[in-house]
Amino acid sequence: MGRDAHGGVLVAGGGIGGLSAALALARAGRRVTVLERSSELREFGAGIQLGPNAFHALHSIGIDQAALDQAIYVDRLRLMNAMTAEEVTALDLGAAFRARFGYPYAVIHRGDLYRVLIDACSMHQSIAIRTNAEVVRFEQNGSDVEVVLASGERVAGIALIGADGIWSGIRRQMLGDAPPRVPGHTTFRSVIPIEEMPEAFRWNDATLWAGDKCHIVHYPLSGYRLFNFAITAHNDATEAVSGEPVDAGEIGATFEHVHDTVKQIIRHGRDWKRWVLCDRDPTHHWVEGRVALLGDAAHPTLQYLAQGACMAIEDGVSLGDAFGFFEDDVDSALLVYRDLRVSRTAQIVLKSRAMGEHVYHPHGPRASLRDAILRSKSDSELYEDLAWLYDGGQESKRYFDPSATPNIEQTEVVSA
């Protein structure tokens, strides 16, 4: 059988990870079929933070500028103490940050980022995206993979990428491991028209109020037309939930203990929805024969470093680089992709947990210690603390072409 027999590479799941992978594979010369179970391609309507590493990855798949055009470049990463309303630190994200990391720190509506990915995929004749295509299982014989859809249809390819999210059925069939861990944290989300937020609080910052067993994040969104809240409580929730409506009374009671200023801000949110957060311990079992996991299916993480989607995009880029390098040797491409990505994503999963415990949710003396440590650091010291995160993710570029300079040249960016 020739290269890209049958449907080329199959990607189960058309989320941010699946579409990034499709784009990277197509740019590496592969034919790709994305199988998405939903009847339409759309993302949940809330904000997402993207660090410079995400833009380096988006650059590799040709859509950094399109994403930047939809994003807001926030001025600071601002940490406030939610119990006292005092500022702890405000990291400058302006010219010095952009020069250091090559891209801005930005916030973007998930739907806008998703639209950029769909538009780019639709310009590639070698990418087919099918909706109403739920993958229920796979079979493989060493050189080909076949998936069975809920309709009974079979689709064949040379490899299958399981980009089917945190509840991945591909992972379940491959590993048979336990369901994701529920560490007892709940995030409530709300997006409001920006006019509903008093001007005094419309900061052009990614603001995080860290309080006793809770934190509150807010930032402007979508060309300053919207204002985004993601507020989290370590409330010992035991059951995974996704997007369930919540009444304002529960929000008030859950955040009753924070400073009045913070309560005043939260009060402007409405139509709240709840996510009970999950993650998994890292594993290197991402590949079985011609099947590999990617994004949340491989390494679901708590969002405390705001990196889950950034990691899914980076995964896609590494996968495309590996397929480009190994050409017909699909087995090696999948194994090297895994080897390039496991330790970076494991670091994200474990450090996200630590961020929650030591930076976002401590109380009493541990919170005072956090404030003292962060206050003692200059911006340039904090930049270097973040360098592993924002300079990272380009392992595949270095691996496949050691002579190449990673993509850290200064990009032409304008203030949004």
Question: Which of 151, 73, 65, 145 has the alpha carbon at shortest distance from 107?
Answer: 73
Is 102 a residue that touches ligand FAD (CB under 6 A)?
A: no
Q: How far apart are CA 122 and CA 112, in angstroms?
A: 15
User: Smallest distance, Å, CB 328 to ligand FAD?
Assistant: 27
Report long-range pairs for 394-397 (Cβ below 8 Å, ≥24 apart).
Answer: 394/56, 395/318, 395/340, 395/341, 395/344, 396/317, 396/318, 396/321, 396/322, 396/337, 396/340, 397/60, 397/321
In the shown chain, the binding pattern of residues 115 to 154 toward ligand FAD, with x for contact by CB under 6 A and - for none, equals -------------------xx-------------------
Q: Between 303 and 396, whose beta carbon lies closer to ligand FAD?
A: 303
Q: Does 37 bind ligand FAD (CB under 6 A)?
A: yes
Identity of the residue, 4 or 296, whose beta carbon is nearer to ligand FAD in the bound complex: 296
Residue from 80, 74, 69, 108 nearest 92 by CA: 74
- Which is closer to ligand FAD, CB of 33 or CB of 81? 33
Which SS3 state, helix, strand or coil, does residue 102 take?
Answer: coil
Are 145 and 291 contacting, i.e. CB atoms less than 8 angstroms apart?
yes
Residues 212-241 that bind ligand FAD (CB under 6 A): 230
CA-based R_g, the chain, Å: 21
- Interface region with ligand FAD, contact rule CB under 6 A, candidates 14-22, 174-182, 326-334, 362-370: 14-22
Separation in Å, CA 368 to CA 86, 372, 374 = 12, 6, 10
In this structure, what token pair is assigned to residue 157?
């390819």
Structure tokens at 146: 């076949």
Indicate whether 72 belongs to the interface with ligand FAD (CB under 6 A).
Answer: no
Check residue 48 for interaction with ligand FAD (CB under 6 A).
yes
Residue 344 sits in the site that holds ligand FAD (CB under 6 A): no
Query: Cβ 316 to ligand FAD, closest distance in Å?
Result: 9
Q: Which is nearer to ligand FAD, 318 or 371 (CB)?
A: 318
Bridge partners of 87, per DSSP, are: 80
Nearer to ligand FAD, 34 or 262 (CB): 34
Indicate whether 307 belongs to the interface with ligand FAD (CB under 6 A): yes
| Among residues 18, 52, 211, 220, the one that binds ligand FAD under rule CB under 6 A | 18
Residues 241-300 that bind ligand FAD (CB under 6 A): 275, 295-296
CB of 233 to ligand FAD, least distance (A): 12
Least CB distance to ligand FAD at residue 364 (A): 26
Q: Helix 379-390 vs helix 52-60: angle between axes, to the nearest 10 degrees?
A: 40
Both structure tokens of 345: 């994503």
Q: Which residues pair with 147 in a beta bridge?
A: 138, 155
Sign of CA dihedral 9, 15, 21, 27: positive
- 13 interacts with ligand FAD by CB under 6 A: yes
- Pick from 9, 30, 36, 80 the residue near ligand FAD by CB under 6 A: 36
CB of residue 40 to ligand FAD, shortest distance in Å: 10
Instruction: Return the residues of window 175-194 that contact ligand FAD according to CB under 6 A.
Output: 187
Beta-carbon count within 10 A of 234 CB: 18
CA pair distance 31, 26, nearest whole angstrom: 6
- Give the interface segment with ligand FAD, choosing from 13-21, 117-125, 280-288, 379-387 (CB under 6 A): 13-21
Which residue in 161, 312, 334, 416 binds ligand FAD (CB under 6 A)?
312
Q: Which residues bind ligand FAD (CB under 6 A)?
A: 12-18, 35-38, 48-49, 134-135, 163-165, 169, 187, 230, 275, 295-296, 303, 306-310, 312
